Structure 1
Amino acid sequence: MPAAEWLVPRIVRRRATVTSGQVETIFARALGLFGLVFGAQTVPLALQEVDALVPGSGAALMAVLYGAIVALAVATVTKVAVRVACLGFAAIYAASLVTWPFLVVDPAALDDSPPWLYYLCTVATTAAALALRPLWAAAYTLVVPAVYGVIRLTPAGGEADPLLAVLDALYAVVLGVVVLAIVIMLRQAAVEVDTAQEAALERYDVAARQHATEIERVKVDALVHDSVLTTLLSAAAATTSDQQSLAARMARDALLRLDEAGATGASALDQVGLPVLVRRLRAALTTFNTPFIVRVVNAGGVELPVDVVDALYTASVQAMVNSLQHADEPGRRARRELRVRGVRAGGCVIEVSDDGVGFDRAAVPAERLGLRVSIEERMANAGGSARIESQPGRGTTVTVAWPVGAAGSAGDDA
């Protein structure tokens, strides 16, 4: 038992230092900050080159690009539509770069200076790295600097020496590739941490069960020592009818206590209060680094069979783990909720929901067992039900209920 007691609190207190959500937040906010810094640095040069452009187009170009940078910074701070803001800026920058030669009407006014757009190239490639899949981000990182290198050779780009144009383009490519590599590596590391977190949760659940089993064993051992052995010794030493009668009463009392011990063990017929399940779920949440909003309604006075509590707990934790692994999108952490509702005196409905990327249920491969076995079949075997509602881009809600039909009546009791 001491080993189990040591193991459980150690696992509960352990927290991951890096998660997918943290990585995305750090990268996004760094991009927003450096975008503002780089944008501010380009303002003097942009003002100098306004006279070289079509009248009014310089101011319009600055307004669009600087506005996109500000919108990107706001999105990264508020964690709202970060991926959209990154995609928007990357697209606007690429479009601005392509249209630059058509906007320049007086190349001499550039005074052989590079287009001020060049100094925002790294911001654009970083935004693409956060918003696009690695292959598309890599293509963007290579193509956009190459386009700039070509423009740099033209009068609209200052008619730079070919070597200088190539070096400028290569410099932008190197910076973009380094950033992309860092993003990919840290994302992979975060996924590994999330996987380890799920494994830690499973170990915690096993350790908690072992701890409870050990406590029950100690209690039974004490009962055997205090009642059964004492009764046997008394019966062996009984020589008179009174002593034999006392031994018989002791035996009946020992049998009664053994029956009571069996009844209070973790049997399928044992009843457990719903607050016990809520405490177990809250304990599981302490192993997650990503928060869940927890709402509990009508938990008092609700009792459930032990095997049902185990099924509800395991299915709910699996749903939460699935949300942690799949709901977040690059640059945005989903909002997650855990709702527990008691139904009359002997039922329960648990909802695990998020507003993440969602998925198409029909597209889930048959060999993926997280939904079918860990949630739906587990609840069906316990006499309950499970419902999974999700659409791409609209989040996911997993509802587990016991007994069957409890989910339909929970709203009346809530």
Structure 2
Amino acid sequence: MTPAPAPATSEPERTSARRAERGIALVASAMRGVVLLQIVVSAASGVRLSHHPGAYAALTGAVVVVSVALIGQSLLTGSVRAGAWHVPDIALAWVAIPAMNLLLPASHVVGTWESWAPGYAINVAALAATWLRPAVAVVHATALGAWLIAWTSAADVASWETSLNNALTIPGYAIVVALLVYYLRALSAAADQSRDDAISATRALELQRYQLTVHDASSILRLLSDEETPAEVLPGLRLQAVREARRLRTYLGSQAQRSPDGSQRTIGAMLSAALEGFDDLPLELAVELGSHVELSEEVWEATCGAVTTVLHNVRLHAAAHQVVVHADTDGTTWEVVVSDDGIGFDQGSQPLGFGLDTQVREALAGHGISAEIRSSPGRGTSVTIVGPVTTREDSL
């Protein structure tokens, strides 16, 4: 009979699976300990009654040795899946049933603990369900029960009902233990998988948070370290580097980043902050129609970051001769558009990068703001940001 293979686990061994195995090993040891105690208590009486005392004592001693090995190995390793006692334990259960018929008087074959074979067989079949495959364990227990009824029915016993009940108890206990162990292992595996999924999700969120934090800063550092960066760009980059350094210190200190006070949380103020340090770009502003619209703190910060990211992309990739920043409102919604006449890209074959996709589109979507990105090769890129107009009360 082949033991059921242990499920694959990560290193170190998965916590819930390990606890479940230790619990199963502890219960198995306790169950065998109770049966072993009953066998030892009845052993002296069995030797006196036996037709062959030496054979009875040897068989009982073998069961004691195997049971002690089972208990010791299970407690030391915290598992019943592996052990030198597996095969001897099953073999002794099959041998003990006919041996009791041959070694004891017929009056003691059924219903006494001098004939410990039925109780031992029940325990062996139940514990085998902890390390055999469930189907194999149930088939084995059913066969062992049939083996018991075959031998006890051949003996001159007063109660055939007791023999039948003992025989039925063997597969009955095996089924219960197999179901319980299968459920515990499946439950622990699901708990460990949920834990692994949570860890993976947390790592992904941390990675995304890190990327959101360093994306624009890395663009600034790359340009500052590039000897080919035009001299006229450097003052703006240094200004942005100071701002990014301040933002990173805030991030590392776990403090909320603050926009200007409430009276300055307007689209105009937001664009002024976002455009700071981009004097090297050929910017043209047309923001008067929407500059007065007030934004909530969260929307102000998210939109400012998104516009900054768009301008970093323009600086790095567009090779634009003109960059137009437009703001407008119809009273219900506000709109900010950043358009360049640069090289553009093919949206059908070239996916959006982390900046446009995550730092712009996804970050704004989290605040109920849409960002539409349109581009084609040789015709530049346009990013349109649209959000709802809210009153001062709404934003509080």
Rg larger for? 2
Greater per-residue helix proportion: 1
TM-score (norm 1): 0.46
Higher relative contact order (CA 8 A, sep 6+): 1
